[in-house]
Each structure stands twice: as structure tokens, then as C-alpha cells.
A and B are shown apart, each in its own frame.
Chain A
Amino acid sequence: DGGITQSPKYLFRKEGQNVTLSCEQNLNHDAMYWYRQDPGQGLRLIYYSQIVNDFQKGDIAEGYSVSREKKESFPLTVTSAQKNPTAFYLCASRGGTGALTSTDTQYFGPGTRLTVL
């Protein structure tokens, strides 16, 4: 089945450690996104990529890093510089990079819940 997978579903990290969250899609989508969601809040954009080997910072990129070496993969690393990393992380992808349409919107993976111990 086509879709977006994120792993792991739950992740526990000790303070001071870097951790990488996986996001893979087999939809042949060009654009991919990472969002963070805190309890009772909406989503905030961390990083996005519209093409392989290129990515841009979103609204809350500090303490995070990404890579886009393959079209289907967009891993997110939460570094020790991120002061409050405990949150729910959602990856999304979108087929095109042009104008918005009703059929070309963002589709989300199931998310990874990160807890810092």
C-alpha cells in the first residue's frame, strides 16, 4: 500500500543525546515536511524539503537537523541543543511543488511520540 511510515512510534531519550526520527514515503511525492505538536496545541513547522538534496528551515528549526538524500526519505535528528524536545512529531508529504489544489495537499504519517527522560 502507498503511504507514509514513521518509526519508531514511541521513542525515549536521555537528556544530552541526539536521536533520529525516520520518515519514509512510497507515494513518489516531491515535497516532505516535519511538524512538531505539543499537548493541546496545533502543529508547528520544523523543516521542509521540496526536492532531493535541498531543504529549508521552518518556524522552529533550532535544535533540529534534517537530510534529504533520497526522494522517499526525510529523517529528522533532534539534537541535544533542542531544549524541550518532548513532543509528538509528524511527517507529511505532498505530490507537487506548485500551486495548491484540493487534490495536492499534505498527507501525514502516523507520528512519533518522543519523550526525554
Chain B
Amino acid sequence: KQEVTQIPAALSVPEGENLVLNCSFTDSAIYNLQWFRQDPGKGLTSLLLIQSSQREQTSGRLNASLDKSSGRSTLYIAASQPGDSATYLCAVLTGNQFYFGTGTSLTVIP
């Protein structure tokens, strides 16, 4: 069964810093990987989708990479802002099911 891990569980950085969030998965036979943002008590907002044939995707200050063979993805956030404070989750599609990581809670300190 696919297992998705996100490290660290929590991260606190000063405003303006560049940072990297990690996502690992045990089964490399994935169709895609998706990064989400979740604000407290809210639903999930899709940030980036990487198909299994792709290596990276970029949207504004966000860049996500995928190394399927090693079972890893990273989300790079450039020039972090207090508004980036949220929980970030990754999810992989394996077979016909989406598997979610436990999330990284990010706090950007002004």
C-alpha cells in the first residue's frame, strides 16, 4: 500500500526566506503528484500538479519537482511571506486512489 510522508511536520521561518518542503512516497508507480495548501478549518487549494512524465512545475513563487524513481517531491517557496502560512499537503495518485501525506505546517514570521 502506498505511504506518503512529509517532513518536517512543522516549520517556522522569517519572512523573505526561501524554503523547501519535502514529500516522500513508497510506491514509485504513480500517475501524478499534487501539492495543496490548507488554511485552518478550510478546504484544500490546489497549488501544483505534476504528471508522472514531468520533472517539475512552476507557478509564481512556487516550484515543485518530482523524482519518481527515488519516491520524492519537493515544493520550493521563494521569498516567503506571512500569507504563505498554512499547512501544505502532497497527494499521489496510485492505481485508482489518491494518497495524502500528513502535511507540513508552515509559519512565516513577519
User: Real complex partners, A and B?
Assistant: no
Q: Which residues does A use to contact B, with CB under 8 Å?
A: none
Q: Which residues of B contact A (CB under 8 A)?
A: none
